[in-house]
Structure 1
Amino acid sequence: MNPLIPAALVVLFEGLSFGAVLPVLTGYSAELGGGPAIAGLLFAMLTAPKVILNPLWGKLSDKQGRKPTLMILGLGTLSGSLLWAFAPTLGHFIFGALVWLVISRAVAGIFAAQAALTFAVAADVTRPEKRAVAMGMLGAAFGTAFVFGPALGGITAKHFSSSSVGFLCAGFQTLSFLTITVFLRETLQKDHHVTRTRLSLRQIAVHRYVPVLLLATLLTTIGYAVLIPTFQPLTKERFNFDFAQTGYALSVLGMVGIVVQGGLIRPTLKLLGERATAVFGTICLAGGLFLVGFDMGLPGMWAGIIGIGLGTGFMMPAILGLLSMQVSDVEQGSVHGLNQSVTSMGRAIGFALSGVVFAAAGATVTYTAGAIIAAAAVLPILIVAAHHHSDDKNESLPVTIVDPD
């Protein structure tokens, strides 16, 4: 079996568990005594541990292999979901339920590095010029998860309870673990194990234009992250949405992502190239955030959601493709772990600050700030574009292809 298939399934199941909590976490926090600012911190707890740990998980996979590392991560995220589900019960005995909710998000954050390693799997089995398309396939799997995850989470919370969403996520993560165990073969070539152990993150970070692309990742992630902890209170305040309706609204992001990353990304990359596609996506993201922030009724909100979906759908695989082309095959796991670390840093910053700013200044200020930060990512992308053609004439990367079964 082509390893991209089980890798995409892992992204799908983990994405479903991630998406299911999005419309519920802010409300669940409120049920346990928290508010929008606390919800922002809870989202940050989910991502902050990745800043340090994702590069280490990437290096571990470069040394020990993708499959065993993914199995460890799967068990860890499953534990985090069970802690979410049992937070009210555990709170009766010690610490309080809100503390256990924080712990559950921290545990999930420690082990949630599957995306970085599935990108490494894709890099293991595809040529550099095809990697953006492979990243788009994984992105389409996440987009599919984003269609159903928020809706399923919202429906579960509405008809059962917020804590029961943890059991829903645990079910998805059990399927992810079984997929890794049964269907995913090891894609890391044995003769690369020794070479990979000699690489340091510092060596990768100064290679070519990796730091510039990581800056673009950081800025766009901070901008996008303002949506996650604030969308539920925004839709409740403006449109009186319940959990299920908020979940349906977030699912539109996933629908747009499927259209882009499952179909439009390939011809767009062929027509425009990675750099122009990344710039186009960044502009769409910033414009969508502006539209959501200003209260223009439901049409304005839907237009903004579509813009954000288009932006992330085009931008993320394009930047990942650019990043993958900057390093050799033996560095793929580490560089994608580093990228996920920067992504996690951006999410932690965006989640924490957006909750505070939303509580203090409202939606318009929060989303305008996010749009400006995201738009600033155009500059580092253009810097890479300005130097690309001369580099292509003088340098080439070693390519190792693992033929899929």
Structure 2
Amino acid sequence: MSTTPVPRREAAFIFILITVALDMLALGVVIPVLPKLIVQFEGGDLRSAAHAVGVFGFAWAGMQFLFQPVLGALSDHYGRRPVVLASNLGLGLDYVFMALAPSLPFLFVGRLISGVTAASVATANAYISDITPPEKRAGRFGLIGAAFGLGFILGPAIGGALGEHDLRFPFWAAAFFSLANFVYGWFILPESLAPEKRTEKVVWRSANVIGSLNYLRTHPTLALFALALFLSYLAHESLPGLFVLYTEARYHWDASTTGWALAIVGISQTVVSGGLVRPTVARLGEKTTFAIALASGALGFLAYAFAPTGALFMAAPPLIALWGMANPSFQGLATRLAGQSEQGRLQGAFGSLRGVSGMVGPLLFTQIFAMSLSLDLFIGAGYFLAGLLLAASLFIGLKAIEKGSR
């Protein structure tokens, strides 16, 4: 546990919440318009755009997969603050590059760069582990989820509104938020990892994909946790991969409607993460909370898959939001099994797994969607598959929690 005095730990936690909220705001701004910009570059061909969206998602996650372990190991040695600042600066400059992209290949290069620089999530989780006692981490991770949700309430709404005027405007807004976040962090964000608690040198054997996964392999219980998280991560990829294209094809939503719908998703997530995680974990325990969360998420995906109208589709976000209680419970348990100087490597390893799911998921779900359009099959098949993945995650996750509690 950190030896930082309690008032400083509380202040640092507030700082990292604001940092995450600003980061997610920037990411959320471009969500409603990026697929539509790709459709524009593809001459309005929705099926071709679906293939391209899948490739973009695969490439972005591939960069995450390769670089998150590196950044996690660097943060264990140099501290969390410089990694967060570098991420924010890099994202801001990259959004400018994408705003000016004259063609689809340039836009693709921009997504590759953002995959490298978008590292603040894993580092923020390690930051929280640094400043929070183990028994309080699940609640704190829940509040991080609320900061995510706040960013996704405002971000898609702003992006959708700006995108109605010009699909490039949201990228300029995202650049502003990321660069403002960098300036804020430069002057305000404190370091969370004391020098005496850092690794003596960068542990390069874990600062790569193979070393990162080997780190999990040497901790069997963590490996089981990681498998359950991977399936959950994979199911989650159906949301950014399909939401915009699916609602446009099935319900004929424009950018503004999509942005407001995503804002409702963000509101639901914020209510759950900010208001329900801590009392639910305190009352029911992490295991029961996890089970309720995964079951709710699976039901939400089934509702997405079968909803015949947009109004019924929008009845599902509260169920999907309850799924957000699963990750804080898992993170709280997993961080207890790793030493303080290993938290960056742990989060880097989880980031690598998320990178794998991010590479597989966009291709998997967008190709299922494109095939559904081409062959006139069940258009909700991708979301149905996501529900099955969450059911498998629930089964494996309960086994991991049981093993970790022995």
TM-score by length of 1: 0.90
- Say whether the 8 Å CA contact 1:79–1:107 is kept in structure 2: no
Q: Which residue matches 1:85?
A: 99
In 2, distance between residues paired with 1:296 and 1:194?
54
> Within 5 Å, which residues of 2 pair with 1:18-167?
18-33=27-42, 35-88=49-102, 97-159=103-165, 161-167=166-172
Q: Which amino acid aligns with 2:387?
A: A
Q: Which amino acid aligns with 1:65?
A: G
TM-superposed CA distance for 1:78, in Å, is: 1.4
Deviations along 1:147-168, whole A, 9 cap, x unmatched?
Answer: 1111111111102x11221101
**Residue 249 (structure 2) aligned to one of 237, 244, 253:** 237
Q: Which residue matches 1:332?
A: 343
Q: Which residue matches 1:342?
A: 353
- Say whether the 8 Å CA contact 1:85–1:164 is kept in structure 2: yes
Deviations along 1:345-393, whole A, 9 cap, x unmatched?
Answer: 2122111211111010253211111111122101221112222332xxx
Matched, 1:381 2:386: no
In 2, distance between residues paired with 1:192 and 1:203?
19
Q: Which residue matches 1:365?
A: 381
**Residue 7 (structure 1) aligned to one of 16, 24, 30:** 16
> Within 5 Å, which residues of 2 pair with 1:193-204?
193-194=198-199, 197=202, 200=206, 201=212, 202-204=214-216
TM-superposed CA distance for 1:204, in Å, is: 4.7
TM-superposed CA distance for 1:195, in Å, is: 5.0
Deviations along 1:76-101, whole A, 9 cap, x unmatched?
Answer: 1112211210002xxxxxxxx10011
Change (3 A) 1:157 1:112: same
Q: Which amino acid aligns with 1:265?
A: V
TM-superposed CA distance for 1:122, in Å, is: 0.7
SS in 2 for 1:296: coil
Matched, 1:207 2:219: yes
In 2, distance between residues paired with 1:375 and 1:4?
33
TM-superposed CA distance for 1:236, in Å, is: 1.9
- Say whether the 8 Å CA contact 2:221–2:404 is kept in structure 1: no
SS in 1 for 2:295: helix
SS in 2 for 1:344: helix
SS in 1 for 2:106: helix
TM-score by length of 2: 0.90
TM-superposed CA distance for 1:196, in Å, is: 6.8
TM-superposed CA distance for 1:125, in Å, is: 0.5
- Say whether the 8 Å CA contact 2:87–2:117 is kept in structure 1: yes
Q: Percent identity over the alignment?
A: 28
Deviations along 1:207-229, whole A, 9 cap, x unmatched?
Answer: 25111111111101111211212
Q: Which residue matches 1:184?
A: 189
Q: Which residue matches 2:376?
A: none
- Say whether the 8 Å CA contact 1:223–1:374 is kept in structure 2: yes
- Say whether the 8 Å CA contact 2:63–2:116 is kept in structure 1: yes
Matched, 1:266 2:278: yes
Unaligned runs of 5+ in 1: 89-96, 391-405
In 1, distance between residues paired with 2:352 and 2:257?
32
SS in 2 for 1:186: coil
Q: Which residue matches 2:294?
A: 282
Is the deviation greater in 193-202 or in 262-271? 193-202
In 2, distance between residues paired with 1:360 and 1:204?
36
TM-superposed CA distance for 1:48, in Å, is: 1.7
Q: Which residue matches 1:170?
A: 175
Q: Which amino acid aligns with 2:117?
A: F
- Say whether the 8 Å CA contact 2:269–2:318 is kept in structure 1: no
- Say whether the 8 Å CA contact 2:216–2:223 is kept in structure 1: no
